């Protein structure tokens, strides 16, 4: 990481300038006044938001479901399990099965939300791709949007079979093809994540190279300027460019972090569904419980951050 000059602390630069006694120019004062204050957000507020949406309830139920499955799997190899705990095992198994059906009901007709997204992708004007990776990402994104529709429809039929609305044969067929479509979509998403990682790394390297050059320019400033506490401003070409690039790097690194968490979630989904698609039996129960719980926690973490960001914004007056 590029070392920030001693007279320009890293974050946030306005507060640090005040701490070290560096006067702010008019531009800096205006920027400081325009910066909105973050509202305090309590944990209960975020939980309320999670429970108020189908996606939030689905993730919470998923965590409970696979936590139960993990306990059931571990209980099989625990000889010291008490008699009272063993009596609860059938109830926990029924609870996990019921939560699975509940989650399927929560995401019924998800294909209705996917079709408009696919329509927008097809309707968007075609633009010449900048390079091979951009073109490949666009094609993979389009294929993924197409695959999600039959995947969602298959899940709906499987849920209907659980509710007794269609026959068990139809439900088994829907489960089989639903797993296959899910595996395909997850595989596509993993490739898209890999492309995003390559592109983001390239962008960060370019920004850091530019920041290196600007840092050298800033380091060349004379000590007289620092001792006289010249009023640095965002309007200053060199300093302003340095601050903007520093902000861009932080934004890109934050985006990359969440993209990596999403990729890890897709890896968990890929491992989970591969057992169903290819019929692996060895270690199926334990592996699916672990990766299912991990995927649920990662998805909930992303939703948590999304709701926190939304709630912490100061409403417009």
Three-state DSSP class for residue 24: strand
- Please report the pLDDT score of residue 39 as a whole number: 72
Q: Which residues pair with 232 in a beta bridge?
A: 24
Provide the whole-model pTM. Answer: 0.82
The confidence score (pLDDT) of residue 13 equals 52
pLDDT for 97: 92
301 closest CA partner among 252, 268, 277: 268
Q: Where are the alpha helices (DSSP H) in 37-165?
A: 43-52, 54-76, 83-106, 111-123, 132-162
Could you tell me the mean pLDDT of each successive run of 10 residues in the chain, 317 residues long?
A: 40 50 49 55 89 91 96 88 87 93 91 87 75 88 94 94 92 95 97 95 92 75 51 56 79 91 96 95 94 96 89 67
Q: What is the CA radius of gyration of the chain?
A: 26
Angle at 281 between CA 278 and CA 287, to 5 degrees: 95
Domain edges within the chain = 41-107+281-312
pLDDT at 228: 54
**Whole-number pLDDT of residue 303:** 93
């Amino acid at each position: 990481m590029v070392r920030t000059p001693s007279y320009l602390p890293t974050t946030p630069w306005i507060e640090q300038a005040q701490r070290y006694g560096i006067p702010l120019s008019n531009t800096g004062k205006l920027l400081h006044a325009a910066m909105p204050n973050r509202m305090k957000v309590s944990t209960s507020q975020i939980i309320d938001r999670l429970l108020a949406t189908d996606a939030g309830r689905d993730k919470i139920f998923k965590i409970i479901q696979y936590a139960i499955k993990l306990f059931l799997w571990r209980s099989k190899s625990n000889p010291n399990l008490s008699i009272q705990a063993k009596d609860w095992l059938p109830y926990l198994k029924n609870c996990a099965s019921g939560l699975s059906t509940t989650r399927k009901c929560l995401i019924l007709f998800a294909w209705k939300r996917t079709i408009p997204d696919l329509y927008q992708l097809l309707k968007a004007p075609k633009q010449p791709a900048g390079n091979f990776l951009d073109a490949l990402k666009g094609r993979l994104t389009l294929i993924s949007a197409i695959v999600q529709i039959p995947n969602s429809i298959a899940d709906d039929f499987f849920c209907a079979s659980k509710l007794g609305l269609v026959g068990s044969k139809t439900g088994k067929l829907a489960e089989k093809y639903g797993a296959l479509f899910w595996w395909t979509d997850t595989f596509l998403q993993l490739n898209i994540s890999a492309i995003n990682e390559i592109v983001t790394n390239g962008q960060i390297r370019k920004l850091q190279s530019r920041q290196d050059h600007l840092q050298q320019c800033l380091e060349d400033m004379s000590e007289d300027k620092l001792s006289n506490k010249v009023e640095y401003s965002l309007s200053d070409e060199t300093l302003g460019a340095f601050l903007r690039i520093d902000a861009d790097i932080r934004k890109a690194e934050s985006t990359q972090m969440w993209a990596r968490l999403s990729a890890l979630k897709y890896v968990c989904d890929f491992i989970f569904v591969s057992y169903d698609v290819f019929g692996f039996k060895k270690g199926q129960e334990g592996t699916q419980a672990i990766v299912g719980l991990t995927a649920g926690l990662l998805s909930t973490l992303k939703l948590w951050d999304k709701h926190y960001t939304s709630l912490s914004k100061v409403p417009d007056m």
